[in-house]
Structure 1
Amino acid sequence: MRCTIVLEFDDGNATAVRRVELMRFHRADCASSGDVGLSLTEGKSLVNCVQQEFVEEQVSRYCASQQACKACGALRRVHDGHSSELKTTLGKVFYCRDRWKACKCGADRSRYVSPLKNYIKEASTGELRWLHAELGATMPYRQAKQVMDLLLPTSGRDSHVTIRNHTMAVGKYLLHARPVRRWCEERKPIAELGIDVGYVKRARSNHKGAGKDNRAEAYQSSSSIAVVVAALGQSGKQPRVWASAMPRTKRLHEEMMNFLEDSGYNDPNEVCVVTDGARDLAGVADNLPFDTEWVLDWAHIGRMMRHVDQAIAPLAYGRLTADGSVFELWETFVRFRSDVWTGQTVRWQNLAQTLFRLLELRKELDPKWSRAAEQACDKLLNLVCYLNSNLDSLIDYRTRQRVGLRIATGFVESSINRIIGRRMCKSQHMRWSRTGANSLVQVRVALLNQELHELAQRDFPWIGQRRVSWPWQKPSRPF
């Protein structure tokens, strides 16, 4: 069996202008079992040949439409030309890049005219660059190159460095790009804004001017890059995410405010900020123009509560005061935890003093548990200091949870894991520069917000479109 693939180009009126015999496929009549259809290698060869002929025809027709002078109508003469290459998603293709002599009427205002100067501006198509960025942000660059070589025709001398450069370029574009749509409603509900920080390893500095000891000291002092991540959305719905790896400057706060404005929540009365009160977030929190309440992350409080619980549990049994019960220490801690949960500040502060006093009595009455009691005191002290330093952010968590609002930054931490952890640090022995980390983060945020393809189509409207005249799935005969 032999199958001949023929391309036919016309002017749109079914009149054949040019026919090209593209490729022939051969199969033996007694084929081996399972040898059905085209193989992947044959398919890649076919689409690459179709791309080559298609580009040649498009370029020749475009040049033919531009060769006549718009002022006088005279045809420009060809001065010279050279073969050039264009990298596409369906492989590398070659075309002739001509240069014409300027028209004698003087309308060109130059000596020579390059018709393809504004038609083919880059050595690669926009679709290929955005595909490189999407794969480069999803998986390591070398692995992305292997996937593209496996499924698509080769684009020539491309390597993992090309994928990295395209990913960084798209990330820098996304950093300054406005969203294609506003994420707001006519009636905006109250939303929670969660803020947290993730860390990636910083690339080592190779500055030759600094001494060996100074370079080591600088590396130890700044061995990681802090990435601020903010998630905004209603409880129970997928939040919209923003992230930045740049330093805590005024520009970062302006970018966060632009993110809130683009999301439709620039009014401070409609946003409730949920954070864990970390020192790294103090500058970000103070610069946001919100006068509403700040909610301290209950998950962080609960984690510290669990540490105190585990330290007190071995010491719980035993009467410590004359009018106390056998489990006086444990019962006091349970009341203390309940008062923190319900936002009773004065009561849990008094109970904290009682807990310290009971732990001191425990050390005096039973010396063999003195070390365990000291450890319990240290953990309780850390918890109480943390709560006292964030008194303004403590609320009635029980009531807030009952009405269906968020009380923890779990939705932000999951976003950090998806944006930073899976690609940039967890199980990945990588180090990043601040600019590179910020560019990659922007692409991953656009993917998480499902905005990457919309942003690509804004500059390249043909990306993702299928421009055909009849269904491509039409069978050769009815069934």
Structure 2
Amino acid sequence: MKIVVRVELITDWGDTNTVEVGRIDRPSQTLDSGSVGLSLADGKQLLHSLQQAVIPAQTDEICALRRICRRCHRWTGVKGLPESQSRYRLWYRQLSQPTPRILRLRAALVFGNSVLPAMADHAGARYAGVVSPPGETRSADVVSTSGRDDAEFLPVGDKINHVTIRNRTLRVGARIDTIELPSIQPRSPTTEWTLAIDGGFVRGRGKTEIRSFEILTGRLAAPGGKPRVFACVRSELPDVAERLTSLVQTHSGTSHPRLSVITDGANGIQSIYRQLPFTATPILDWFHISMRVRHLEQIVKGLLPRSETEKYTKKALCTYANRLRWCFWHANAAKTEQRMQQTLLLCRIVVAQTARFTRSLEQLDYRVGELLAYLKSNSGSTIAYGKHYREHRPISTAMAESAVNQVINVRMCKHQHMRWTPRGAHLLAQVRCAGINGDLAAKLAAYRARIDEVPEDVARFLEFMQRAEEAKPHAF
């Protein structure tokens, strides 16, 4: 038996071409139950031949389309012979295809630009942003496993250098750093948006540089829509508020959206909302308040009274501590202040008879004062958490915490014994967020469209030159 595999290529304008991609011989003398079907080697060879037939056809089609000038719609020429090679790293083999360089007219100058985009940057950056650190060789080993026992998994031809993956990842991060794509789904101006912000720390590189630095990350969400993940390093941006403003305005579709900013109130994150050019409602994370109250409850519960005075003190402190959470939940600021002041008063006027009870009262006094300072530094950020919860509105930074785990911890901290520069961590975070949001390819396309645009001053100059050329008398 002979098996002949042919592929038929049909272009959008009706041209048809049939190419034979494989021929497999199965003589009847050697045919048995063990040789039924295609072997793995046959499948690899067929896929390789199929790519060798498809890639040249696609390359020619892209070249034909790119040779049409976007400004004047004229058919442009080709610079010399197609001696340059575009290399495609596929899952099973690396292929090379000659690509011509097209002449383009820009500001009365002729530039030779490669026709095909660097698709390897997109694939390598996306893989490195999802799997393992680009500074280690593990991602390259996973992609290229030929010559090992598990070469059946992703059998490629050559081993990919981890330095190449790292450089391409950071280059893609630099390209998409300032690009924000508008939301596909239209939003109403009355839509309530929630911006949850949190931070995670990564280790700096080298003893002479900063030992650790913070990466701000979080999510922007609206009812009925997919949350958007963002991340940045403060030292790598001139203005963090400007970046968040662009993010919110681009996806909300309005310059003055209805926005709530949820933070844990630490490291100056809460002050970011004051720098936004529109009004934003600050919300202090309920979980952090609840845990601080829980700490007070545990201290009071662990009191061991010996005398009647100590027993009365513990009973009164239990009453104040148990009602404190209710006051926060219903935004009763007056009762909250009263309960904490009464707790402080008891801790300072009661004379305990045992040293252990005295130490517990001192610890409780310190923790209550710390809670008061925490609330004072984030004044105006506490809300009626119970009402928001019943209305199914966010009251905590849970979605920001998950973003920290997705963008930072899994990729840079947990079981990743690496050190980072602020610039490298910032660019990798951009690739990571684009991969999670699913718009990495769209951002790269927007970047290529941006660099293909003619600057406004150049366009005016070309228009002036065209009018001057039309005004000249023509000799017949």
TM-score band, normalised by the shorter chain? 0.7 to 0.9
Q: 1:355 to 1:81 in 2, by over 3 A?
A: closer
CA distance in 2, matches of 1:322, 1:315: 9
Instruction: Map residues 8-407 of structure 1 onto 2, 5 A cutoff.
Output: 19-20=19-20, 22-24=22-24, 28-32=30-34, 37-56=37-56, 84=85, 86-89=87-90, 91-95=93-97, 118-120=114-116, 125-126=118-119, 128-140=120-132, 141=134, 142-149=137-144, 151-152=153-154, 154=156, 156=158, 158-179=160-181, 181-182=183-184, 184-204=186-206, 216=207, 218-219=208-209, 222-234=210-222, 238-247=226-235, 249-264=237-252, 266-268=254-256, 270-282=258-270, 284-315=272-303, 327-360=315-348, 364-407=352-395
Q: CA deviation at 1:270?
A: 0.8
CA distance in 1, matches of 2:80, 2:281: 72
Deviation sequence 1:149-171 (CA, Å, 0-9, x none): 35555364532222222222222
Partner of 2:473: none
Q: CA deviation at 1:260?
A: 0.6
Worse overlay, 360-369 or 433-442: 360-369
Deviation sequence 1:90-142 (CA, Å, 0-9, x none): 63224457899x9xxxxxx99xx98xx5324x6xx51x332222211111144
8 Å contact from structure 1 (residues 85, 92) kept in 2 = no
The residue type equivalent to 1:435 in the other structure is R
Q: Percent identity?
A: 24
Q: 1:46 to 1:148 in 2, by over 3 A?
A: farther
The gaps in structure 2 that reach 5 residues or longer are 68-74, 104-108, 146-152, 450-476
CA distance in 2, matches of 1:184, 1:97: 40
Q: CA deviation at 1:317?
A: 5.9
The residue type equivalent to 1:136 in the other structure is A
Q: Is 2:418 aligned against 1:430? A: yes
Q: 1:401 to 1:282 in 2, by over 3 A?
A: closer
TM-score by length of 2: 0.74
SS of the counterpart of 1:315?
coil
Deviation sequence 1:24-82 (CA, Å, 0-9, x none): 365841243xx654444543332223323444566689999999xxxxx9x99x98775
The residue type equivalent to 2:170 in the other structure is M
8 Å contact from structure 1 (residues 227, 244) kept in 2 = yes
Deviation sequence 1:329-384 (CA, Å, 0-9, x none): 10111223322332222322222121123234555243332222222222222112
The residue type equivalent to 1:437 in the other structure is A
Q: 1:181 to 1:406 in 2, by over 3 A?
A: closer
CA distance in 1, matches of 2:12, 2:328: 75
8 Å contact from structure 1 (residues 2, 24) kept in 2 = yes
The residue type equivalent to 2:287 in the other structure is A
Q: 1:292 to 1:320 in 2, by over 3 A?
A: farther
Worse overlay, 241-250 or 398-407: 241-250
CA distance in 2, matches of 1:65, 1:399: 58
8 Å contact from structure 1 (residues 233, 239) kept in 2 = yes
Matched positions, count: 424
The residue type equivalent to 1:132 in the other structure is G
- CA-based RMSD of the aligned residues comes to 4.1
8 Å contact from structure 1 (residues 133, 163) kept in 2 = yes
SS of the counterpart of 1:392?
coil
Q: CA deviation at 1:297?
A: 0.9
8 Å contact from structure 1 (residues 191, 232) kept in 2 = yes
CA distance in 2, matches of 1:22, 1:56: 17
The gaps in structure 1 that reach 5 residues or longer are 68-72, 103-108, 205-215, 462-479
SS of the counterpart of 1:232?
strand
Q: CA deviation at 1:200?
A: 1.6
The residue type equivalent to 2:128 in the other structure is G
Which residue among 404, 419, 430 is the counterpart of 1:416?
404
The residue type equivalent to 2:248 in the other structure is L
SS of the counterpart of 1:278?
coil
